[in-house]
Amino acid sequence: MGRDKLYFRRSYAQAKVKLITKTSVDGKSLTTSTLNSEKISDTTRAFLQNNAEAEEFRYDRLASLAIKDLEKDFNRLGWNDPKNKTEKVAFDKKKNIAISNWQENYIREKFPNILKIDLDTFIKATKIKTAQYGIQKALRILSEAQNSNYYDVEHKHVNLDTGEVSVGISQVQALPAITLWLDESLADKGYTLSSFAEAKIKNKRKLIKGLQIEFSPMYLFHVLSIGTDYVTSLKSQRDNFIHGFSHKLDILINSLYKIRNNVNALTFDIQSLKEQLVGDKPDLEYKYFKRDTLNKAVKDINKNTGKNIKIKEKKEGRKVVAVTFYIENKEMSEFFTFLCHYVSSQLYFFSKTEIKSIPYFESYLQAKDIKDDEVIGESKTFLEWEEEAESAFEAEKDILSMLETDELFFERNSIIYDKTKHTILNKNVFLEDGEEKTAFTMIYDSNIPITTPQHSLRYIHNITLEKMRNSIHIADLIPFGYFNRLSESWVKIDSIDTLSRYKENIYKDIVLKSYSKFTFEEDTHFDMFKYYCEKNMFEEINENVKKKIKSLFEF
């Protein structure tokens, strides 16, 4: 999972919000979740989903463990031996619920429910500008965000003794509990976020070791081990929202995008829509809800995301009773052209079916009578091609970005990216009749041909990791001292930022093997530095590699 991408269960995205009335530290009554609480919630979700331990709780991994553990129950209940297609569909639904229940219990028992994070790193990741004004302001904002709202999420459970399914409602907090991780000298003082913010203590920042984020079992289950029915959004886009309710509409709209041609599914009665965006407010008139919430959220999303939303009101007499969302993708024109080329290339790779006219094929796919379940080619439906192409589209953008910032990487590894075939190819240069010629051949990864941008990106990633394992970056030896020739003084290189500032001169002195310009806190590090210099094992930090290294130090 990428650091920018946030994952939400579809049931969570479409759940009704419950707001908690509380009093802020300055005495004001807060009856809605604030913009700050939504940004903090997103940041917490991002840290949890990108936590190293979360990899062990991936859906596919836990699903395989669950199936193995539940196999006897499935056999006993006859779910592995359906009599017909209808029964198979019903049994598969029950099996999926059982697997989900198993995963929930596994996460509850195995995942550490407390995550410790550096305060400054967390505050910076929230992108809340006012939180940067000082430690007191930051703690106040964190305190006010606590217990802002929760969601009523449908929760299914299957009884493995009887095979019966029950449906209940689970309350899932939008934000886990955040407390301070203080120096041992203050551990028994009982400070809360707000009381520590107001306490007359000197050097508060030095006494804060970090933040402790405590997760409820239900929160962990809904944020970890995201299965196949999920919604994604980009944190970098949501960071630009200026209204808290925009975050809720954003994931609701993303959960509806796949069914954007189903008017009934995109239509919400006013009361239901209010409950999903601002909670149950029976006295809130539609005209004020539209003016103060709906229109602002739509404007926020249209401005900051890849979606364009239009709303159409349904009236009974003069009263607006429902709203229908019409959703367009700003990149749809570009994406649809990509989709046509991608389907064409895949059909050629695997069935040697050649699309002779891409424009005609594009017109065919855009025809109104094309259904999501219509098969194109030999096996995949239009919807399956579209879902696969969306993933390929994003992967190709990443590859082209890498190519733009690090063209030498491709040259050094004798590979190119073919935008027509949507895959990487080997570049082979050879002599024939005294002339230098170039040929491009398919690349195989573990005897499997690479034919998609996703596989290409994974292959490039593996090459990069292997290269990093067999080389060293000066960043791996941070912190160290460096003598700056211009200022004729020693500077401490203790972060990626300071390394970037003096990078060019540092690498010049590495090439020149000017050992006297470097000092290290440990003699072993200095010995390693000299060894790597002599062996020419330091790799230049280009922009692309710098991003990879930077991610090790910053969120």
Condensed to tens digits (0 to 9), the pLDDT of residues 315-355 reads 999 899 999 998 887 755 577 778 888 888 888 777 666 67
Cα-to-chain-centroid distance, residue 99 = 24
Identify which of 46, 25, 160 has the alpha carbon closest to the alpha carbon of residue 100.
160
**Which amino acid does the sequence have at 205?**
R
Structure-token match 């965006």, residue found: 277
% of the chain surpassing 90 pLDDT: 24
Q: CB of 240 within 8 A of CB of 304?
A: yes
Identify which of 105, 93, 111 has the alpha carbon closest to the alpha carbon of residue 69.
105
Q: CB of 457 within 8 A of CB of 395?
A: yes
Mean pLDDT of the chain: 82
Q: CB of 149 within 8 A of CB of 174?
A: yes
Q: CB of 5 within 8 A of CB of 236?
A: no
Contacting residues for 240 by C-beta, under 8 A, at least 6 apart: 303, 304
**Tokens in use for 525?**
């590090």
Identify which of 143, 148, 178, 131 has the alpha carbon closest to the alpha carbon of residue 30.
148
CA 87 – CA 93 distance, rounded (Å): 10
Q: Three-class SS of residue 192?
A: coil
3-state DSSP of 227-274? CCCEEEEEHHHHCCCCCHHHHHHHHHHHHHHHHCCCCCCCEEEHHHHH
Task: Examine the pLDDT at 193 and tell me if it is beyond 70.
Answer: yes
Q: Are strands 444-445 and 435-442 parallel, antiparallel or unpaired?
A: unpaired
Mean pLDDT of 180-185: 86
Most confident of 63-77, 135-149, 226-240, 415-429: 63-77
CA 233 – CA 5 distance, rounded (Å): 6
For residue 471, what pLDDT is reported? 62
CA 298 – CA 330 distance, rounded (Å): 14
Q: CB of 251 within 8 A of CB of 10?
A: no
Most confident of 16-20, 225-229, 276-280: 276-280
CA 173 – CA 219 distance, rounded (Å): 6
**Which amino acid does the sequence have at 83?**
K
Mean pLDDT of 164-188: 87
Sign of CA dihedral 316, 319, 321, 322: positive
Q: Predicted confidence band at 23 (pLDDT cuts at 50, 70, 90)? A: low
Cα angle vertex 104, ends 101, 107, to 5°?
A: 150
What's the length of the chain?
555
Sign of CA dihedral 475, 477, 478, 483: negative
Q: Where are the alpha helices (DSSP H) in 305-381?
A: 332-351, 358-366
- Max Cα–Cα distance, the chain, nearest Å: 86
Q: CB of 257 within 8 A of CB of 139?
A: no
Q: Predicted confidence band at 539 (pLDDT cuts at 50, 70, 90)? A: low
pTM higher than 0.75, yes or no?
A: no
CA 220 – CA 215 distance, rounded (Å): 6
Domain boundaries, the chain: 5-239, 333-467, 471-553
pLDDT tens, residue by residue, 195-212: 888 888 888 888 888 899
Q: Three-class SS of residue 377?
A: coil
Q: Where are the alpha helices (DSSP H) in 491-522?
A: 496-501, 503-512
Q: How many CA atoms lie within 13 A of 228 on its CB side?
A: 6
Cα angle vertex 26, ends 25, 30, to 5°?
A: 75
Task: Examine the pLDDT at 24 and tell me if it is beyond 90.
Answer: no
Task: Examine the pLDDT at 541 and tell me if it is beyond 60.
Answer: no
Q: Three-class SS of residue 317?
A: coil
| Count of C-beta atoms within a 10 Å radius of residue 322 | 16
Q: CB of 426 within 8 A of CB of 441?
A: yes
Q: Are strands 448-449 and 480-484 parallel, antiparallel or unpaired?
A: unpaired
Q: Are strands 267-269 and 307-316 parallel, antiparallel or unpaired?
A: unpaired
For residue 25, what pLDDT is reported? 52
Q: Predicted confidence band at 2 (pLDDT cuts at 50, 70, 90)? A: very low
Task: Examine the pLDDT at 213 and tell me if it is beyond 50.
Answer: yes
